[in-house]
Chains A and B, each alone.
Chain A
Amino acid sequence: MTLARESTTRSVGRGSTSFFRQRERPDSSKHAKPILVMEEVYKYFRRDVPTLKNVNLKINRGEFVFVTGPSGAGKSTLLQLIYRKHTVDSGRILFSGRDVARLTKSSIPFLRRNLGVIFQDFKIISHWSTFENVAVALEILSIPKRLIRSRVAEALDRVGLAGRGNEHAGDLSGGEQQRVAIARAIVTEPALLLADEPTGNLDPGLSIDILTLFEEIHEAGTTVIFATHDHSLLQAAPHRLVMIDDGHVIEASQGLRAWAARTQSMVAS
């Protein structure tokens, strides 16, 4: 419940001019505040084979983290545990200090208001307009219509779709549809953005554009967790990288990153 209150006051209270305000820059010192902490997390979909085992992960406010791993490794599962599509079987997931796993069903919506989630398949409503697709996130927060209009316009501007609110979302290109989804995720100014293969359905040039957009959003102060198995993206951006391998989450060294890049280019050639 407290999560909700924070979110609403922040969203309503903040005027439109502060939309682009830089949050505190990420601080690499020991005193940096973690926004997300996973402690000994286990998740089983089958009785004896855990999809995730003993996951320990700490992500600080303002970080940009890639999550990678082969198909079926559990990247989506990891993100789904954070936004409570699934619940951990053991362990804790602390988001802003609160244990997500122990939220009651009725407080899950208030957790999600503090998160922005973006998917490979966009999940936008094709028979709605671009504006409506973004505005829905604010309508849920009971924000006045006038404020919704200005904030949606700014969000669309931020993702490069300024002035295209009246277009039918179904008529947009794939890249544009994903930009609408990103606008919907950021329009509420969540502290944490979860992106699950956001470039999975886009061709390579567009993928880099979308990654750049996420980096801009990150620059403005939002923490980003970006799940992908596209090594060209991992190579293109020097961010923290964690790998999921056999259910374990491993912090990837620069060497590993280089190895990943090599295998990628080998596969490509």
Chain B
Amino acid sequence: MDLSTALSRARRNFLDDWTLHAVAIASLVVAFLCLGATLFAVANLNRIAEKWGNTQQLSLYLKDGTEKADVSQLQFVLESLPEVAAVEYLTPAAAQKKFLEQTDAESDLASLPTEVFPASLEIKLTQGVPEGRLQKIIDRLQQLAPVQEVESYRGWFEHLASLLQASRWSASVLAALVAICVIAVIENTVRMAIAHRSDEIEVLKLCGATDGFVRMPFVIEGAIQGSVAALFSILLLLVAYAIVSGQVGYTFATLTGVSLTFFSPQIGLAVVIGGGAAGALGSLLSLRRYLSV
């Protein structure tokens, strides 16, 4: 049968039974909101991880009042190590400036006095320094007299990585749950729609409609409900994002070094298409169970 007939039949059914469909879509929106919020978190954690994950570097914070000569000597020693690609001396003023550059947003921290930023040697490592060797270098540097502290960023990055992993996991589990939820809700909605329209289905069959002709509008309706619910919840999230990012966006940027962003249009599209597919599937399952043709 032709698609336009199926579409116009589906449209008519939507209008005839709109409360049933509205209730189904509303309950699915709640499910999609949870999924969308998690995807939002994953997207931002991902950006943070990308920003910090590939910084192969060490910061060597120097004790206050370290002599310039000691610094130069230390710098010379470090540069002679094969694992070190570059060493940069950061005075407290330079450190403050760099900090402010790294944070995307303008910051209250700009008003902090220069003295709170310690002088440091920023060490860029060559690619692929083995874990054990790196630890040995850190241990040795720690013992040098002018060195206050060695920051390898690894602990922090490991935390971030595990957080990212966990949120990816929960997003996947949530996506599966939402799919099941969509299938179940639409299966039930279509079951009711079949009951409401039993007289219509009988007439169609008597007039010689094929199974496909009878079923197609229900499948289209299921797909539309799933995708409309997904789309609607993404729009709601976008509105929420617009409000929230104005308020906490820049604190977030200050803390993490990346600006708050929404997940990509591709992910949004995937959610909408996935919602439609789950809806169609739910409808098909319902038709199989409740529509005896």
Query: Is there a chain A Cβ closer than 8 Å to B16's Cβ?
Result: yes
* Pairwise interchain contact B202-A123, C-beta atoms closer than 8 A: yes
Query: Is there a chain B Cβ closer than 8 Å to A125's Cβ?
Result: yes
Residues of A within 8 A of B213 (CB): 109, 140
Q: Mark B1-40, 1 if CB is under 8 A from A, else 0.
A: 1100100010000001000000000000000000000000
- Provide the bound-state CA to CA distance between A127 and B12, in Å: 11
Q: Mark B203-219, 1 if CB is under 8 A from A, else 0.
A: 11111111101000000
Query: Is there a chain B Cβ closer than 8 Å to A83's Cβ?
Result: yes
* Pairwise interchain contact A142-B206, C-beta atoms closer than 8 A: no
Query: Is there a chain A Cβ closer than 8 Å to B67's Cβ?
Result: no
* Pairwise interchain contact B207-A112, C-beta atoms closer than 8 A: yes
- Provide the bound-state CA to CA distance between A117 and B204, in Å: 12
Residues of A within 8 A of B108 (CB): none
Knowing A123-B199, A125-B199, A127-B16 are in contact, say whether A140-B206 is a contact too (CB < 8 A): no
Query: Is there a chain B Cβ closer than 8 Å to A136's Cβ?
Result: yes
* Pairwise interchain contact A142-B209, C-beta atoms closer than 8 A: no
Tell me how many residues of B have a C-beta within 8 Å of chain A. 19
Dominant secondary structure of chain A at its interface with chain B: mixed
Residues of A within 8 A of B9 (CB): 139
| Interface positions of A (Cβ within 8 A of B) | 83, 105-106, 109-113, 115, 117, 123-125, 127, 136-137, 139-142, 184, 188
- Provide the bound-state CA to CA distance between A124 and B5, in Å: 19
Residues of B within 8 A of A142 (CB): 1-2, 5
Knowing A110-B208, A142-B5 are in contact, say whether A136-B16 is a contact too (CB < 8 A): no
* Pairwise interchain contact A117-B203, C-beta atoms closer than 8 A: no
Which one of B9, B205, B207, B209 has the greatest number of beta carbons of chain A within 10 Å?
A: B207
* Pairwise interchain contact B208-A113, C-beta atoms closer than 8 A: yes
| Interface positions of B (Cβ within 8 A of A) | 1-2, 5, 9, 16, 199-200, 202-211, 213, 293
Among residues of B, the one whose C-beta sits closest to the C-beta of A187 is: B207
Which listed residue, A105, A106, A127, A184, touches B207 by the CB 8 Å rule?
A184
Q: A140-B213, A184-B207 are in contact. List 6 more A-B contacts (CB 8 A).
A: A113-B208, A123-B199, A123-B206, A140-B209, A142-B5, A188-B207
- Provide the bound-state CA to CA distance between A188 and B207, in Å: 9
Residues of B within 8 A of A123 (CB): 199, 202-203, 206
Which listed residue, A112, A139, A141, touches B206 by the CB 8 Å rule?
A112
Residues of B within 8 A of A140 (CB): 1, 204, 207-209, 213
A97, chain B: closest CB distance, angstroms = 19
Question: Which 4 pairs across A and B sit closest by C-beta, in order of nearness?
Answer: A113-B208, A112-B208, A109-B208, A137-B207
